[in-house]
Amino acid sequence: MRWKRFLAAITAASLMAWSSLSFAVGELENVTLTVYVNPTGAPQAFMEEDITHPQGVDIDIIYELQRRLLFNLTDNRIFPLPRDDGFERLQAGEADMVVGGISFTQERAKLYDFTPIFFTSSLTVVYSKRLHPEIKDEESLRGLRIGYERGSTSEDYIKLVNGVGVPFDNVTLGLFQVAYGRLDALIYDRPPMEDFVKSVPSVGLAVTEHRFGENACKYAFALRKGSPYNEAIYQTILEMMVDGTIDSILKKWDTAQ
CB 185, CB 178: distance < 8 Å: yes
Indicate whether 110 and 170 sit together in one domain: no
pLDDT at 2 (0 to 100): 38
Indicate whether 227 and 102 sit together in one domain: yes
Indicate whether 176 and 197 sit together in one domain: yes
Torsion angle of C-alpha atoms 136, 251, 215, 174, degrees rounded to 10: 50
- pLDDT at position 202 over 90: yes
Q: Which of 55, 52, 78 is nearest to 66 (CA)?
A: 78
Tell me the per-residue pLDDT of 10-61, one tens digit each, with 9 for 90 and over: 333 344 344 444 455 788 999 999 999 999 888 999 987 766 789 999 999 9
Angle 57-83-217 (CA atoms, 0-180°, nearest 5)?
55
Q: Alpha carbon 234 to chain centroid distance?
A: 17
Confidence label for 3 from pLDDT (cuts 50, 70 and 90):
very low
Whole-angstrom Cα distance, residue 250 to residue 255?
10
pLDDT at 8 (0 to 100): 39
> Is 234 a domain residue?
yes
Indicate whether 94 and 132 sit together in one domain: no
Task: Please give the tally of structural domains in the chain.
Answer: 2
Indicate whether 230 and 106 sit together in one domain: yes
> What is the separation, in whole angstroms, between the first and last Cα of the chain?
6
Indicate whether 200 and 82 sit together in one domain: no
Indicate whether 139 and 194 sit together in one domain: yes
Tell me the per-residue pLDDT of 80-104, one tens digit each, with 9 for 90 and over: 998 999 999 999 999 999 999 999 9
CATH of the domain at 46: 3.40.190.10
Confidence label for 255 from pLDDT (cuts 50, 70 and 90):
very low
Higher per-residue pLDDT: 15 or 207: 207
Indicate whether 140 and 229 sit together in one domain: no
Angle 180-126-51 (CA atoms, 0-180°, nearest 5)?
80
Whole-angstrom Cα distance, residue 117 to residue 121?
11
Whole-angstrom Cα distance, residue 36 to residue 19?
29
CB 183, CB 135: distance < 8 Å: no
- Mean pLDDT in residue range 181-196: 95
pTM for this one?
Answer: 0.83
Indicate whether 198 and 224 sit together in one domain: no
Average pLDDT, the chain: 88
Tell me the residue range of the domain where 107 lies: 12-120+217-253
- Mean pLDDT in residue range 114-124: 95
Indicate whether 81 and 189 sit together in one domain: no
